[in-house]
A and B are shown apart, each in its own frame.
Chain A
């Protein structure tokens, strides 16, 4: 499922196993649990890296589990339930009191792409893996918080249009060129190395955890409102 490791100031959240890391209620619950642990142990200089084993970062919601409901209505309800359960994961990441990095070493699709995009920095493979929002191809609509996330994180309207209305499968070098990811590297090891390097550089800044989270929320006001994240005003006496 997923594990949490602490290495000095680094929190490493891993989606384990060679499977597609599809989000079903169990995995979502585990993720939420681990993220709460990260939040509880946060200090100045903490950084989170999320990574995944195998060929997939995550392929999104567990459609097999949804269809196992037995009927079209049942499947739709299960999908809606997962979308509702997933929202707090995004909310927790958006309010996590430390910088966050998604080390994308495999395909990040639908809710998997959403999870990655909920991090402050995305680092991806150039040689393998795609970012893809297949909703237009599989005929489902997107929940409001996912629309808001993409709108506020990706400034370029042509990119958002290509991802949502064209179902574009975006590879690493295009993602880097068009500003969807921070950087793309050849090879899994290079992506992990670059993520750890970035994490160490960010951690060295020893930022005030709560202030970091508040500034981040301020960057994404619409999304924060939809996720029900309140805003705290901090006054610091000494500059």
Chain B
């Protein structure tokens, strides 16, 4: 599922299991969201979070096996809607986390997995053996609004169109060129270690989490309005 490790000022969220595609189902969602609550509760000045995973996949999206195992068409739709709800809560939890966040994408990410990566302030990726794929168009699945707002917030220009309207499997170098990721690395170990190193560097800036999160919400104001978490001015700055 997932585990949360604390190393000094760093929170390391690990999607565990070598063989899994880390597909998002109610269990994994709950696990991640509760890990984020813990990180939030234990956050201090200079905290940072990095999300890593093991194996061939970062996260391959919704657990469609679980969705399709439902007894009826109606229940299938309900299960799918439930996952959409969870994904929205996940986005909310990440956007409200009072510390910088980094996703170290070691392997393939598809659909909800791309959303998971983009929830982070910074995305690092593996150069090879890793693609970002918004499979939704190819599967004939619409992308509902809060997630569209996330894409609008985080990705600009033609990159956004290419990610969502071309069914592209975007490799590391391309993702870098498109401005979707910050940097690419060779090998799973390198991307994970670089993620931790970057988190360390950002943690050293010793930012006040409650201000960091409000500045982030102001930066992504359209998304936050849709999620119902508008940014607020903090009356007493720490001058």
Contact = CB atoms under 8 A, between A and B. Distances in A.
Chain B associates with chain A: yes
Interface of A: 63, 66-67, 72-73, 75-76, 79-80, 135-144, 147-148, 151, 155-158, 160-161, 164-167
Contacts of B233: 80, 141, 143
User: What 8 A-B pairs come out closest when comparing CB atoms?
Assistant: A140-B237, A139-B238, A139-B211, A147-B218, A139-B208, A141-B214, A157-B156, A76-B236
Interface residues of B, number: 31
Contacts, number: 88
Given A139-B207, A161-B121, A156 B237 contact: no
Contacts of B121: 161, 165
Nearest to A133: B215
Tell me the interface secondary structure of chain A in the complex: helix
Given A141-B215, A156-B156, A165-B100, A136 B207 contact: yes
Contact of B205 (A72, A137, A158): A137
A73 to B, nearest CB: 7
A109 to B, nearest CB: 15
Interface string B95-124: 000001000000000000000000001100
Interface of B: 100, 121-122, 153-157, 179, 182, 202, 205, 207-208, 211-212, 214-216, 218-219, 221, 231-239
Nearest to A73: B236
Contacts of A151: 219, 221
A142 to B, nearest CB: 5
A147 B237 contact: no
A122 B219 CA distance: 22
Nearest to B160: A157
Nearest to B153: A157
Contacts of A158: 156, 179, 182
Contacts of A161: 121-122, 219
Contact of A147 (B100, B122, B219, B236): B219
A138 B221 CA distance: 21
Given A147-B218, A147-B219, A165-B121, A72 B236 contact: yes
Given A155-B156, A158-B179, A141 B236 contact: no
Contacts of B100: 165
8 contacts: A75-B239, A80-B233, A135-B211, A136-B207, A139-B208, A142-B218, A143-B233, A165-B216
B48 to A, nearest CB: 12
Contacts of B214: 141
Contact of B215 (A66, A142, A148, A155): A142
Contact of B218 (A73, A75, A144, A166): A144
Contacts of B236: 72-73, 76
Nearest to B179: A158
Contacts of A138: 237-239
Contacts of B122: 161
A156 B179 CA distance: 8
A132 B154 CA distance: 21
A139 B237 contact: yes
A66 B238 CA distance: 12
Contacts of B238: 138-140
Given A76-B235, A164-B218, 17 more contacts: A63-B239, A80-B233, A137-B205, A138-B237, A140-B211, A140-B237, A141-B218, A142-B218, A147-B231, A148-B221, A155-B157, A156-B179, A157-B156, A157-B179, A161-B121, A165-B212, A165-B216
Nearest to A151: B221
